[in-house]
A and B are shown apart, each in its own frame.
Chain A
Amino acid sequence: EPEVTQTPSHQVTQMGQEVILRCVPISNHLYFYWYRQILGQKVEFLVSFYNNEISEKSEIFDDQFSVERPDGSNFTLKIRSTKLEDSAMYFCASRGDRVVGGYTFGSGTRLTVV
């Protein structure tokens, strides 16, 4: 069964450093998403991406965050200057062209900011 692949599985970074989280969505999917989950809390929407542009973003997704699909296969989330409160699991998801289709999520990247 097709999978969404995320790398790395765990990243530790120092406060103020830039991090890039990488995702390879399912190859024929058109819609891409980033979510995050702080330990013990709900899964929160960050951003959706379609046709090479952001279609929606949440209040969490401020100027420190950016997304890119640089080569038609990878989908990246960049955090420019990490804060302690950015520590969370970050999940990438994708879906195909059916509007009501389900999302396929990756297994996540655990980001720890120290």
Chain B
Amino acid sequence: DAKTTQPNSMESNEEEPVHLPCNHSTISGTDYIHWYRQLPSQGPEYVIHGLTSNVNNRMASLAIAEDRKSSTLILHRATLRDAAVYYCILRDWAGGYQKVTFGTGTKLQVIP
């Protein structure tokens, strides 16, 4: 599986934008970039995914570099509820049933 690299932790002030980086220099052409998050004492939660173009949904935006070797999850206005571990995960769509495999992620702390 292609690997991702994320910072272990980040801090953000409440109501400010947060940019969570992810490096995936060995990404293949059929890998989708997925983001999940895990709030304290809860199960993981799907956030967003993309292939080449930037994506927006109600939770976040995903900015993908032109060479696809890195991506950034953007939370436009961090709230205390956004404090969680954020996981950047590659999934090969050609693999059919390929499972989601979690790494250690980035622990985001939101400061009031």
Q: Which residues in A have some Cβ–Cβ distance to B below 8 Å?
A: 4, 31, 33, 35, 42-45, 48, 50, 55-56, 91, 93, 99-100, 102-108
Contact = CB atoms under 8 A, between A and B. Distances in A.
Contacts of A105: 43-46
A48 B97 contact: yes
B43 A100 contact: no
Interface in B1-59: 32, 34, 36, 38, 42-47, 49
Contact of A33 (B32, B47, B99): B99
Given A99-B93, A100-B91, A45 B99 contact: yes
Contact of A42 (B91, B96, B97, B104): B104
A29 to B, nearest CB: 13
Interface of B: 32, 34, 36, 38, 42-47, 49, 91, 93, 96-97, 99-104
B46 A106 contact: no
Contact of A43 (B34, B38, B46, B91): B38
B38 A100 contact: no
A42 B49 contact: no
B49 A102 contact: yes
Contact of A102 (B34, B96, B97, B99): B34
25 contacts: A4-B43, A31-B97, A35-B44, A35-B102, A42-B102, A42-B103, A42-B104, A43-B44, A44-B102, A45-B99, A45-B101, A45-B102, A48-B97, A56-B99, A91-B43, A99-B93, A99-B96, A100-B49, A102-B34, A102-B46, A102-B47, A103-B46, A103-B100, A105-B43, A107-B43
